[in-house]
Structure 1
Amino acid sequence: MTSAVSIPTHGSTGGRTAVAARARQVVKAYGSGETRVVALDHVDVDIARGRFTAIMGPSGSGKSTLMHCLAGLDTVTGGQIHLDETEITGLKDKKLTQLRRDRIGFIFQAFNLLPTLNALENITLPMDIAGRKYDRAWLDQVVETVGLAGRLKHRPNQLSGGQQQRVAVARALAARPEIIFGDEPTGNLDSRAGAEVLGFLRRSVTELGQTIVMVTHDPVAAAYADRVLYLADGRIVDDMYQPTAETVLDRMLRISGENPQAPDLDARGRAS
């Protein structure tokens, strides 16, 4: 049995636990018998509140599966997942949908903006659909943090890729979710735009107290995080705090060398 991969607590949590999400002995398997594939193999992990966590690993390591299970986007075969004190494993679809809508934010490679709406309307759309009023002061702070103050009336086709992803980041932040999950959120951006978006995510943690979990292949992106979890063969095999691009790449290359099934990594740590 694996031991839990935990993180120290940090200061006051306003009455909440210092752990935003946790997994205990989580198994995710596909198929049965000889065709059974284990994507997650008894994973234990705590995600600290108010911190930026990156999840890395070679293709097929289970990193996206872990994020999807933590976010309630995928079911688990065994084990438990909690969001704060709420166990989400076993929730009925309606309750799970409501939880994702009200307590979780998402940022993906695809910007998923509606072309007929301007930036502000795209940002507030999830709250509008849910019939929730938004906090204007908070929204103004989010817009300022991601640098969109002069672009709110622009539609997606009037924005660059980086600006569109800023809108997606603001949309995720606007509802003040307990935790935001990002699946390669800068994967479709050039290096300059990607750095801008990662900077905004970093600021949302440092200045706004947001909790972010991001799956990435890129050591440069991972260096924006407070902590990096490394997966291989469905297990957490390493854990790093205060990463740099160099230390992340070195760790990835070492893990790849220890795992002969892993794909080769190029100079930036991307799977080739």
Structure 2
Amino acid sequence: MTTSTRPASIAHPASSGTAAARAVDLTKVYGQGETKVVALDSVSVEFRQGQFTAIMGPSGSGKSTLMHCMAGLDSFTSGSAWIGDTELSSLKEKKLTRLRRDKIGFIFQAFNLLPTLTALENITLPMDIAGRKPEREWLDRVVETVGLSGRLRHRPNQLSGGQQQRVAVARALAARPEIIFGDEPTGNLDSRSGAEVLGFLRNSVRELGQTVVMVTHDPVAASYADRVVFLADGRIVDDMADPTAESVLDRMKAFDARGRTS
């Protein structure tokens, strides 16, 4: 999908400079011998607190693999991945599960809402499972930020696709995670709904101090971010601050032309 054009002037907050997540020489290899595929090739990158970062690259470049490894959803072959001061490979499965639950939020292309629960129940479900009560003031602020105040009693089948994804965004924000990862979070949405969700993600960074890392193939979606990291063949090949849809598209075209001539 292609979202509508990003608003022309957006004042991004200065990030704290502290890494919410980082990778050092992160390598992910699938298979052996003739079937060996290097999905990530010694990637080192930081995602700073209070910043919205987009990860882009051609199909098979390793962008989703990078996100999944850094979010603790997939193992890696060598190197290290950190959430705050915690190195993921040092954790046993139980502690890794707890870290994902307490410090990481996820937004995926499929909304992953339970159809029998209301919007509010879907938002608070991870905390309910963990036996934690949501902070009411924070929850109210999140609901207001994503524009769901009048929809909390509705079930998913009573909501549009954009509203369902807003519920998924609110669910990721509600537990106040240290970082939110999104894997093509607007991929199933039309242009208008996609632009709304991207605006909510941007506002969560600007107004709530959240840290967001999003994988996307869409230059317009990437233009909502403060920064774009470009991957190709499992390596970081560029890093752009204050992107526009046009500058991202030009960079992607340059990578395509380089690939054809190499």
Shared fold (TM-score, shorter chain, > 0.5)? yes
In structure 1, the residue matched to 2:132 is 132
TM-score, normalised relative to structure 2: 0.93
How far, CA to CA, are the matches of 1:10 and 1:54 in structure 2?
A: 16
For residue 256 of structure 1, report the CA deviation from its aligned partner.
Answer: 1.4
Q: Which residue of 2 aligns with 1:215?
A: 215
Map 1:32-43 → 2, pairs under 5 A: 32-43=32-43
2:101: which partner in 1? Answer: 101
CA distance in 2: counterparts of 1:175 and 1:139, whole angstroms? 8
**1:245 and 2:245 are equivalent in the alignment:** yes
1:20 aligns with 2:30: no
Give per-residue Cα distances to partners, 1:104-154, cap 9 Å, x unaligned.
Answer: 000001000000000000000000000001100000000000000000000
CA distance in 1, matches of 2:62, 2:191: 25
> The residue matched to 2:60 in structure 1 has which SS?
coil
Partner deviation per Cα, 1:76-114 (whole Å, 9 max, x = no partner) = 100001111110123111111110001000000100000
Mapped contact 1:10–1:18 kept (Cα < 8 A): no
Give 3-state SS (helix, strand or coil) of 1:224's partner: coil
Distance 1:76 1:97 in 2: 16
**2:254 paired residue number:** 254
Return the offset for 1:42: 0.4
Matches within 5 A, 1:224-243: 224-243=224-243
Counterpart position of 2:56: 56
1:174 counterpart letter in structure 2: A
Distance (Å, rounded) in 2 between the aligned partners of 1:27 and 1:261: 26
Query: Which TM-score applies when normalising by structure 1?
Result: 0.90
Structure 1 alignment gaps of length 5 or more: 1-8, 263-272
The aligned runs of 1:104-253 (5 Å cut-off) are 104-253=104-253
Structure 2 letter corresponding to 1:32: Q
Give distance in 1, aligned partners of 2:14 and 2:142.
Answer: 23
The residue aligned with 2:84 is: 84
Task: Give the equivalent residue in structure 2 for 1:4.
Answer: none
Cα distance in 2 between the residues matched to 1:70 and 1:261: 32
Partner AA of 1:56 in structure 2: M
Q: CA deviation at 1:35?
A: 1.4
Preserved CA contact (<8 Å) 1:232 1:259? no
Q: By how many angstroms is 1:25 displaced?
A: 0.4
- 1:173 alignment partner AA: L
SS in 1 for 2:180: strand
> What CA distance in whole angstroms lies between the structure 1 residues aligned with 2:198 and 2:127?
24
Identical amino acids, percent of aligned pairs? 74
- Secondary structure of 1:210's partner? coil
Whether the aligned pair in 2 keeps the contact of 1:109 and 1:185 (CA below 8 Å) is: yes
Distance in 2 (alpha carbons) for counterparts of 1:24 and 1:233? 17
Give the corresponding residue for 1:265: none
CA RMSD of superposed structures (Å): 1.5
| Matched length | 250
Instruction: Verify the 8 A CA contact 1:29 1:39 in the aligned structure 2.
Output: yes
List per-residue Cα deviations over 1:231-260 (Å, max 9, x = no partner). Answer: 000000000000000000000110111123
User: Deviation of residue 33 (structure 1)?
Assistant: 1.4
By relative contact order (CA 8 Å, sep 6+), the higher-ranking structure is: 2
Deviations 1:154-198 (A, max 9, x none): 000000000000000000000000000000000000000000000
1:67 aligns with 2:67: yes
How far, CA to CA, are the matches of 1:10 and 1:89 in structure 2? 31
